[in-house]
Structures are given as C-alpha cells and as structure tokens.
Amino acid sequence: MKTGDRIQNSMWLCPICQAALQRQANSLICESRHSFDIAKEGYVNLLPPNKKRTAEPGDRASMVAARREIHNAALYMPLADQLCSLVSENAPHGEVLDIGCGEGYYDGHINTQLPHVNLTGIDIAKPAVRSAAKKYKSNSYAVASSNALPLPAQSIDLCFSIFAPTNSDELSRVLKGGGAYIEVGPGPSHLYQLREALYSNAHEHKPLRTEIAGLQLVETGDLDYLNDLTTPLVRAIIEATPMAHRGDPNMKSSLLERPSMQLTFAFSWRLYQKPPDQPVE
Ligand SMILES: C[S@@+](CC[C@H](N)C(=O)[O-])C[C@H]1O[C@@H](n2cnc3c(N)ncnc32)[C@H](O)[C@@H]1O
Ligand SMILES: [Zn+2]
C-alpha cells in the first residue's frame, strides 16, 4: 500500500463537528470546511488547540527517541509477540486501534505478523505520531487524545493500549459490539532493580485494574523475564520514563557507572469484550 492510501481510506472524523473527513489534495476536510493538513510523514493533527492542556502534550521528542532506541534493542519483543497472539485470536482481519501508540513499535510488529489487520494509531504527542507515521507507512496515524477519539462509533474490532491512558466511554463508543480491548500495564516488579537503585523508598507497581465500565473482563495474563542491559540502554530506559526527572541524582550517576545491569521486565495484560449487539426482534 502506498503512503497516503491509508489516509485516503481512513475513518477520521472532524474533531470540531464530528463529521466525516474527506481527502482533498494534502488536507482532510469536513462538510463544514474545517480543514486539517496531512503532514509529509502521512499523519494528520486532529487535536484542536483548545483541547491541549500544555503547548506540547504527551511525551517529549527526547522520550520518543529513547523509546525507539529501547524498542530497536528488542527489549519488549516478548510482549509484542504476546500482543500479536491476542490480536490474532480476536481480530486477525479487523480494524485495530493503538491508543497512545508512541513511536509505533507494536504496530510494526503487528504489520509483520498479521498483514491483514488494518492498523490505526493515535497519540497526543506529535513527535511520537510523526515518528510512527514515518516508519510504519501502511498504518494510519493522527495526533489525538484518548479522551476524544476522532473515529466513528462502532468502527473498531479491537483496541489496545500499552502503558498509555484510555477513556472507558470512548472505548465503548468506538468498539463494535463484541469487539475486544487489550490493556497492558506494568507488572508489580517491572524494572524494580532500577527503581531500587534510584529511589530510597522504591515500591512495586500496583496491580493492573480488572474492571472497566461498559466492558467485560474475559482473560488476564502476566509476562515476566530478565534482560541484561548495557549502560546506554539503561540510560535510554531512564530517559523514556518519569525516572528521567525523579530519583536521587547521586544514585543515578553511580548507577550509570556500572558496565551493565540485569533488569526484570514484568507486564500484566487484560482482555475485555464489549457486549455483543442484541439481534433486532
Ligand atoms: C509510556 S508511553 C507508551 C508508548 C507506546 N504504547 C509504547 O509502549 O511504546 C505513553 C504514551 O501515551 C501518550 N499519551 C499520554 N496521554 C495521552 C492521551 N490522553 N491520549 C493519547 N495519548 C496519550 C504519550 O504521549 C506516550 O506516547
Ligand atoms: Zn468539521
């Protein structure tokens, strides 16, 4: 598929009046003539300026670059494989939405393993969406908030979010009846060695939630493994997380003097389903 085809065929809605957007030259335009430029990387910015809480919401460009470095090192590959098997079981030919897609690593994995999935991704951070759109050209990307998804009701077979915030009303609105939602968050011991080395009062992560209004929990799982990391990768993990601005600076410099470090990667995932539509009598 050529760059731009996915934008041409995408389902994006106008974030101002919620009408369908149609492509005209290098813009998407609704019937009320609200117009949104398609960036050269192929994404569209559908976050109205009055909906931004800060000038540059979401992850900064340096965090996006650090996350790309981490993903290039395949540190999260077992999680990506787990996600692909869940998508394959639940929507192998469907419309799939990545909420808080970041630089798109999981989308690229799905493109390779499940070529019949139609992937759409949103993130509130423009540098993240730009990076995803530039690398994963067969997917459709927009800058948008998970609190106001610019997509039609009942249009998505499966949504997923990996370490990113979602809104239960919006999940229920965009999912088709019987559609699936996969939520992935940190397991209790995720990167624990790093937090222990940076904070004097390190805690385990709280268990991932198991209830979302409007959806039914179907399956849960955990995934834990160890990775040996070189110092540049430890530095990238710190840069890509809130640890960049927290923790004792002295503890951080002595941590980064170590030649390598063994870290636990721990995830919890939940599979939810939107109740199927009732047949009309
Ligand atoms: C920890 S990163 C995870 C990125 C990606 N899912 C991954 O695992 O590589 C969280 C992402 O959520 C995005 N984000 C934060 N708030 C958001 C919101 N309200 N709507 C959409 N994305 C949001 C951030 O910009 C960031 O890219
Ligand atoms: Zn409009």
Q: What pLDDT, on a 0 to 100 scale, did the predictor assign at position 254?
A: 84
277 or 158, greater pLDDT: 158
Nearest CA to ligand 1 atom 24: 58
pLDDT tens track for 221-275:
999 999 999 999 999 999 998 888 887 888 888 888 888 899 999 999 999 999 9
Q: What pLDDT, on a 0 to 100 scale, did the predictor assign at position 175?
A: 98
Any atom of ligand 1 within 6 Å of the Cβ of 184 = no
**Of 2-11, 51-60, 118-127, which range is least confident?**
2-11
Interatomic CA distance for residues 212 and 215, integer angstroms? 6
119 falls within a domain? yes
The whole-model pTM stands at 0.95
First to last CA, the chain: 41
Kindly give the distance from the C-alpha atom of residue 175 to the centroid of ligand 2, in angstroms, as a whole number: 22
Task: Count Cα atoms within 13 angstroms, Cβ side, for 154.
Answer: 5
Segment 104-116 mean pLDDT: 97
Token representation of residue 41:
């990387």
Q: What pLDDT, on a 0 to 100 scale, did the predictor assign at position 182?
A: 98
Q: Which of 64, 79, 123 to mutate to test the pocket of ligand 1 (most atoms within 8 A of CB)?
A: 123
Kindly list the protein residues that place their beta carbon closer than 5 angstroms to ligand 2, a single-atom ion: 14, 16-17, 30, 32, 34
* pLDDT of residue 280 exceeding 60: yes
* pLDDT of residue 16 exceeding 90: yes
Segment 207-216 mean pLDDT: 97
| Total number of domains in the chain | 1
- Report the relative pairing of strands 260-273 and 175-186 from DSSP bridges: antiparallel
Q: What pLDDT, on a 0 to 100 scale, did the predictor assign at position 252?
A: 83
Q: What angle do CA 140, 141, 145 make, to 5 degrees?
A: 140
Contact 20, 30 (CB under 8 A): yes
11 falls within a domain? no
Q: Which ligand is nearest to the CA of 33?
A: 2
248 falls within a domain? yes
Any atom of ligand 1 within 6 Å of the Cβ of 59 = yes
47 falls within a domain? no
Q: What pLDDT, on a 0 to 100 scale, did the predictor assign at position 251?
A: 82
**Which CATH number does the domain housing residue 116 bear?**
3.40.50.150
What is the amino acid identity at position 6?
R
* pLDDT of residue 216 exceeding 90: yes
Kindly give the distance from the C-alpha atom of residue 99 to the centroid of ligand 1, in angstroms, as a whole number: 7
Q: What pLDDT, on a 0 to 100 scale, did the predictor assign at position 65?
A: 92
Any atom of ligand 1 within 6 Å of the Cβ of 67 = yes
Any atom of ligand 1 within 6 Å of the Cβ of 146 = yes
Token representation of residue 46:
């559908």
pLDDT > 90 fraction of the chain, expressed in percent and rounded: 80
201 pLDDT band, cuts 50/70/90, is confident
Q: Is 142 helix (H, G, I), strand (E, B) or coil?
A: strand
For residue 97, what are the domain limits? 53-273
Interatomic CA distance for residues 23 and 199, integer angstroms? 50
What is the residue-wise DSSP string for 59-126?
S-HHHHHHHHHHHHTTTTHHHHHHHHHHHHHH-TTSEEEEET-TT-HHHHHHHHH-TT-EEEEEES-H
Contact 192, 204 (CB under 8 A): yes
Q: Which atom of ligand 1 is nearest to the CA of 122?
A: 21
15 falls within a domain? no
143 pLDDT band, cuts 50/70/90, is very high
Is residue 97 exposed (0-12), middle (13-18) or buried (19+ Cβ within 10 Å)? buried
Q: How far is CA 165 from CA 48, 57, 160, in A?
A: 19, 13, 11
247 falls within a domain? yes
41 falls within a domain? no
pLDDT tens track for 20-75:
999 999 999 999 999 999 999 999 999 987 777 777 778 889 999 999 999 999 99
Q: What pLDDT, on a 0 to 100 scale, did the predictor assign at position 263?
A: 96
Interatomic CA distance for residues 55 and 57, integer angstroms? 6
Looking at the DSSP bridge assignments, the partners of residue 210 are: none
22 falls within a domain? no
Segment 152-180 mean pLDDT: 98
Any atom of ligand 1 within 6 Å of the Cβ of 150 = no
Contact 181, 159 (CB under 8 A): yes
Interatomic CA distance for residues 264 and 225, integer angstroms? 6
Contact 37, 26 (CB under 8 A): yes
* pLDDT of residue 111 exceeding 80: yes
